[in-house]
């Protein structure tokens, strides 16, 4: 790492990159080439900032795996010449996107910090400036030539999180994200404080590997009281279905009706991986702890443990794309790959 870190700022879209045209009272995209003119405080940071933007900014709702690959390819192409990366994206799907990037990069040893904002960058009360400035500062923080952070993170409202542990919990509050099952990695106050106990250890001896074959032929099936057999059957028989996230109750519990268990078992026999994830914001799946989950364990359902739905989606899409053999898929999913689960 050079004495003055080089940081690449990648703008994909989202509220953080919008400014208000006060003549028309509409929002328009901001030119990040002029970022230091718009946010002069960035000149106080001890780093070089280079910017790159998607030609057409992507609204958070339109984010998909094609753009995940595009983000990853940009990072890969600049990886050797940069000391850290900050990715700006829309907040609604940021936990999905940042989780996916965490899986796609193996042997990562440099920081990739995702951030965004609830209000546009030009708004009087915007949270964009603080989020952006601190995210860049975190990406540029190093000691003895080694980054303090060497993993994919999400920074928002003074908190630094492991990206694949996050979920968006508010559409209105500045504190929009939580990490319900894992401690925050750091906090911004008068000083930047990092939780060394939980930050991933950096190994710079291994070569970076990008795996960008992703397969999004999956579905989320959320249980609710009274769910009908024809609904479950229809979903599990979707043509070319490659995987299912089953959002169950509590510690992984589900109905015990014979038709329900049979439908799940038939899907598993077709080598369709079924991942059990709790609907609860915090806590963990514990297959077999209650009688209402023991049958799920017996038929070979994957134990999602304390993974978030967003991270489970990203991990499933990633592993299907990698091409993990059917007889190894369950074991592979249940092993933490990037600190996303216990």
List the chain domain ranges: 6-210, 218-333
Nearest CA-CA partner of 155 in 172, 130, 180, 125: 130
- Please write the tens of the pLDDT for every residue from 312-323: 999 999 999 999
CATH 1.10.730.10 fits 218-333, yes or no: no
Q: What is the 3-class SS of 61-76, one letter each residue? A: HHCCHHHHHHHHHHHH
What letter does residue 327 receive in the DSSP assignment? Answer: H
Whole-number Å distance between alpha carbons of 274 and 277: 10
Whole-number Å distance between alpha carbons of 78 and 84: 10
**What is the pTM for the complete model shown?**
0.96
- How far, in Å, are 29, 252, 302 from residue 246 at the CA level? 38, 9, 10
Domain made up of 6-210: CATH architecture: 3-Layer(aba) Sandwich (3.40)
pLDDT of residue 249: 97
- How far, in Å, are 145, 259, 286 from residue 11 at the CA level? 26, 48, 39
Tokens of 142: 């190093």
pLDDT of residue 2: 53
User: 178: number of CA atoms within 13 Å, CB side?
Assistant: 9
- Please write the tens of the pLDDT for every residue from 157-191: 999 999 999 999 999 999 999 999 999 999 999 99
Whole-number Å distance between alpha carbons of 195 and 147: 14
Tokens of 178: 């939580």
pLDDT of residue 18: 83
Low-confidence ranges of the chain (pLDDT < 50): 1
Helical spans, DSSP H, in 9-167? 35-38, 65-78, 94-104, 128-140
Backbone angles phi, psi at 8, to 5 degrees: -100, 125
pLDDT of residue 19: 79
Tokens of 110: 């440099």
Tokens of 270: 């077709």
Catalytic residues, by residue number, are: 15
Q: Is 320 helix (H, G, I), strand (E, B) or coil?
A: helix
Q: Tell me if domain 6-210 and domain 218-333 are identical in fold.
A: yes
For 298, the enclosing helix (H) or strand (E) is: helix 291-298
């Amino acid at each position: 790492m050079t004495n003055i870190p080089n940081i690449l700022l990648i703008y994909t879209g989202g509220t953080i990159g919008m400014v208000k045209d006060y003549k028309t009272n509409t929002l328009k995209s901001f030119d990040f080439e002029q970022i230091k003119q718009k946010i002069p405080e960035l000149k106080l940071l001890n780093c070089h900032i280079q910017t790159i933007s998607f030609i057409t900014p992507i609204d958070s709702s339109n984010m998909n795996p094609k753009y995940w690959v595009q983000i990853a390819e940009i990072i890969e192409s600049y990886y050797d010449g940069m000391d850290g990366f900050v990715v700006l994206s829309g907040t609604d799907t940021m936990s999905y996107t940042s989780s996916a990037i965490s899986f796609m990069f193996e042997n990562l040893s440099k920081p990739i910090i995702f951030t965004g904002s609830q209000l546009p960058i030009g708004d009087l009360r915007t949270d964009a400036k603080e989020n952006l400035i601190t995210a860049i500062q975190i990406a540029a923080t190093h000691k003895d030539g080694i980054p303090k952070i060497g993993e994919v993170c999400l920074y928002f409202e003074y908190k630094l999180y492991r990206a694949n542990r996050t979920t968006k919990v508010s559409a209105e509050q500045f504190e929009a994200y939580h990490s319900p099952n894992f401690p925050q990695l750091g906090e911004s106050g008068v000083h930047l404080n990092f939780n060394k106990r939980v930050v991933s250890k950096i190994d710079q001896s291994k070569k970076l590997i990008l795996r960008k074959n992703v397969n999004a032929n999956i579905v989320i099936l959320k249980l609710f009281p009274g769910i009908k057999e024809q609904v479950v059957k229809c979903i599990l028989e979707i043509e070319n279905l490659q995987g299912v996230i089953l959002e169950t109750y509590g510690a992984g519990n589900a109905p015990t009706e014979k038709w329900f268990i049979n439908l799940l078992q038939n899907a598993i026999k077709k080598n369709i991986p079924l991942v059990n994830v709790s609907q609860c914001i915090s806590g963990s799946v514990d297959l077999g702890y209650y009688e209402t989950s023991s049958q799920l364990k017996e038929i070979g359902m994957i134990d999602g443990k304390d993974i978030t739905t967003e991270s489970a989606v990203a991990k499933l899409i990633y592993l299907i794309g990698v091409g993990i053999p059917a007889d190894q898929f369950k074991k592979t999913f249940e092993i933490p790959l990037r600190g996303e689960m216990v």
